[in-house]
Amino acid sequence: MSVSNKRHTVKAFLQVVELSKAGTAITFEVFCDGLKLGTIEVGQGSFGWKPVGKQRFKRRSWTEFEAFMRNYW
């Protein structure tokens, strides 16, 4: 699945329908003007962001992510 506007494109990779088991996740690749910005990984226990060029995801629990969004918005 791919969603885009004039500048940004997001590609989603769904490997499982249910995120109930450890190690299962939905992966989103995020692009801007055709260049990959990074990857978002959404799982049952956490939300992760990995910028291009980094080896590891920066992971946050859903509680931490919710607090971040409350402060950001």
- Each of the 73 residues of the chain gets a pLDDT tens digit; together they read 666 567 888 888 876 666 666 667 888 999 999 899 999 998 878 889 999 999 999 999 989 989 988 998 7
- Read off the DSSP letter of residue 6: S
Domain ranges of the chain: 2-72
pTM of the model: 0.73
H or E segment at 70? helix 62-72
Say what the pLDDT of residue 3 is.
62
Say what the pLDDT of residue 14 is.
72
Say what the pLDDT of residue 7 is.
83
Segments in the chain forming alpha helices (H): 62-72
